[in-house]
């Protein structure tokens, strides 16, 4: 009869054999080019930031990084492709708050589970949305707009060039009780034209989209949606500091791997991303591109994204926001 001691000895021997193999896999990684799928068009903010990160990661990891654009369906197409890839560390994706949080509540059907089908690697960058108004309006704060709308509904309609902008409007309505009315646009260009032309008095957009108009004095920033002031829009108070404590919305980019990617490999990637994001020149370049450099552990990213889903699901449901 086989004794317990013999069984333990055999198991220990097998563990001794398998552990080095696992470490060997990590130590050999990477030994060929790595692909990062971007679920958006070339030249868009996520794409540009990914190419910067890829260039820097290539130097750290000693292998080429190939960025592949697979745009479509609000980021679902490219993210689905990444979810179907082998979990070997050679296909990654640059996720966003849309692909890995919001889309599952905006679309009736999703071909992947943003939590169960991916391994988090690291947060790369974040940015707030900005409430801005035309330079000729009397508004100086977010409260000015909300008070005006409460007194005269429809007097300060808001241009919404993105789903993120719409969520900010709904969140503001929820927190302030103001009867805000948002006008949806397909992009920043057309929304900006109407606000600059005086057809609408307020817009909500990214710091990067608003930056040239703020610098030229054509628009005035009223507030940022991050919990604290953002270096992307210096001198502008958060909405949370203007009488709406707890108000926060940030968009973000983060690196993910397909489910099943070994922990040893995700640790190698996390360390490399954090090393890159610690470089002063990379941090400045990301700020120039409209992102606040992030970083942190894979566990942090996983918990953060989960809390974001719990937070935005009821708001999207209550507002009846749909993307399809």
Could you report the average pLDDT of every consecutive run of 10 residues in the chain (324 residues)?
38 43 65 97 95 98 98 96 98 97 95 98 98 97 96 93 93 94 93 96 96 98 97 97 95 98 98 98 97 98 97 94 82
Q: What dihedral do alpha carbons 288, 290, 295, 298 form, nearest 10°?
A: -150
- Between the alpha carbon of residue 55 and those of residues 14, 122, 138, 225, the distances in Å are 40, 17, 45, 30
Percentages helix, strand, coil for the chain (3-state, rounded to 5) are 50, 20, 35
Nearest to 81 by CA among 47, 52, 40, 49: 40
Domains of the chain: 33-126+250-319 (3.40.190.150), 130-241 (3.40.190.10)
SS (H, E, C) 111-177: CCCCCCCEEEEEEEEEEECEEEEECCCCCCCHHHHHHHHHHCCCCCCEEECCHHHHHHHHHHHHHHC
| 141 φ, ψ (degrees, to nearest 5) | -140, 170
Written as six digits, the tokens of 289 are 């591109």
User: What pLDDT is stored for residue 154 in this prediction?
Assistant: 87
pLDDT at 212: 97
Tell me the pTM: 0.88
pLDDT value for 323: 85
């Amino acid at each position: 009869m086989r004794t317990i001691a013999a069984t333990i000895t055999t198991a220990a021997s097998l563990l001794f054999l398998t552990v080095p193999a696992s470490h060997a896999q990590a130590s050999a990684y990477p030994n060929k080019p790595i692909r990062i799928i971007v679920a958006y068009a070339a030249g868009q903010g996520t794409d540009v930031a990914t190419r910067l990160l890829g260039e820097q990661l290539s130097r750290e990891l000693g292998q080429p990084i190939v960025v592949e654009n697979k745009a479509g369906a609000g980021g679902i197409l490219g993210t689905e492709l990444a979810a179907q890839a082998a979990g070997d560390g050679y296909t990654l994706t640059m996720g966003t708050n849309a692909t890995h949080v919001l889309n599952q509540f905006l679309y009736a059907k999703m071909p992947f589970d943003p939590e169960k089908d991916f391994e988090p690697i690291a947060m790369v960058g974040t940015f707030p949305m900005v409430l801005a108004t035309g330079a000729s309006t009397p508004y100086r704060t977010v409260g000015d707009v909300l008070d005006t709308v409460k007194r005269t509904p429809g007097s300060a309609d808001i241009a919404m060039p993105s789903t993120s902008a719409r969520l900010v409007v709904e969140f503001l309505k929820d927190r302030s009780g103001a009867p805000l009315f948002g006008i949806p646009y397909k992009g920043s260009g057309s929304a900006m034209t109407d606000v600059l032309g005086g057809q609408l008095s307020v817009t909500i957009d990214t710091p990067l989209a608003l930056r040239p108009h703020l610098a030229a004095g054509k628009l005035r920033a009223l507030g940022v949606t991050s919990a604290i002031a953002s270096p992307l829009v210096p001198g502008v108070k958060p909405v949370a500091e203007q009488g709406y404590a707890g108000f926060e919305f940030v968009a973000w980019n983060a690196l993910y791997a397909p489910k099943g990617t070994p922990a040893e490999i995700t640790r190698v990637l996390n360390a490399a991303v954090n090393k890159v994001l610690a470089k002063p020149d990379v941090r400045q370049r990301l700020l120039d591109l409209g992102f606040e450099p992030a970083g942190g552990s894979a566990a942090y990213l996983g918990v953060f994204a989960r809390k974001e889903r719990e937070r935005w699901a009821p708001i999207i449901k209550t507002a009846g926001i749909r993307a399809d």
